[in-house]
Amino acid sequence: MSAAGRLIFHSQRSIATSVQRSCAEAYALNEKLFGRGPERVVVVIAHSVAEWRRACRYYSFPLAKALVLHDGTLVLKSRALTGYSISNYHKVIIHEMNHVFWCALFRGRRNVWDPIWLVEGLACLVARNHYLLPLSVLKARMRRGRKLPLPYRYTGKILRLASRRELELYYSYWAHFAAWLCQGRLARLVAFTRAFAHRPTRMGYHQSFERFFGMSEKTARRIFAE
Ligand SMILES: [Zn+2]
């Protein structure tokens, strides 16, 4: 089945062809990376803040332009609501579709969204999100003593406390670290996650990390920061 055939849209208004095409492209791109994808992806488009809140149900994160629910539903603010350009909106869709695939492929683990740095780092790399800082800027900030977290757990705390600016800094760190770790071969990050998904514990994570990347996470962080 074509990528477009796997998408089911829910929207109170008609959906621009460009958005439908964007979603299909995002599906195809992620299918290539993961090797396979979910049979069906439900995409809810919210045209107002009230619709957004209703669609997000238990989840509330005002800064988000889109998010993926635990059942894999992709909730998107309409482009008008985000104020984004077509190009940046397209990147948001690719990023979120990456989460949809992650959720479908690694569902059944104790917490499907662990480790957060890898979940977000990978999505940012695939989407090439517009808010990512250039590596040189990130390194300069790190040299000024910014101690950035590489969290294993996806706790609401990290996202709730952060400002947009801080989120961009974190996401940039996670994306650049992930890219450096896999030397740009994103499929390697997927293979690592697949291995770790068999033993989805903190210990399983650290052991898989050493096996895949030839060093401990702590060492990798130190070398990357140099
Ligand atoms: Zn994300």
pLDDT tens-place string over residues 68-83: 998 899 999 999 999 9
Cα 96 to ligand 1 centroid, rounded to whole Å = 6
Cα 226 to ligand 1 centroid, rounded to whole Å = 27
Q: Which amino acid appears at position 90 of this protein? A: H
Confidence (pTM): 0.92
pLDDT digits (tens, 9 = 90+) for 156-178: 666 665 677 888 899 999 999 99
pLDDT at 140 over 70: yes
Over range 144-160, report the average pLDDT. 72
Lowest mean pLDDT among 38-47, 171-180, 187-196, 214-223: 187-196
Cα 48 to ligand 1 centroid, rounded to whole Å = 21
β-pairing verdict for 74-77 and 66-68 = antiparallel
**Long-range Cβ pairs for the range 10-16 (8 Å, 24+):** 10/42, 10/43, 10/44, 10/45, 11/44, 11/45, 11/47, 12/47, 12/51, 13/45, 13/47, 13/78, 15/45, 16/79
- Report all structural domains of the chain as residue ranges with CATH numbers, in order of start: 1-107 (3.40.30.160), 108-226 (no CATH)
Which residues have a Cβ under 8 Å from the Cβ of 136 and sit 6 or more positions away? none
Over range 187-200, report the average pLDDT. 88
pLDDT digits (tens, 9 = 90+) for 7-20: 999 999 999 999 99
pLDDT of res. 2: 87
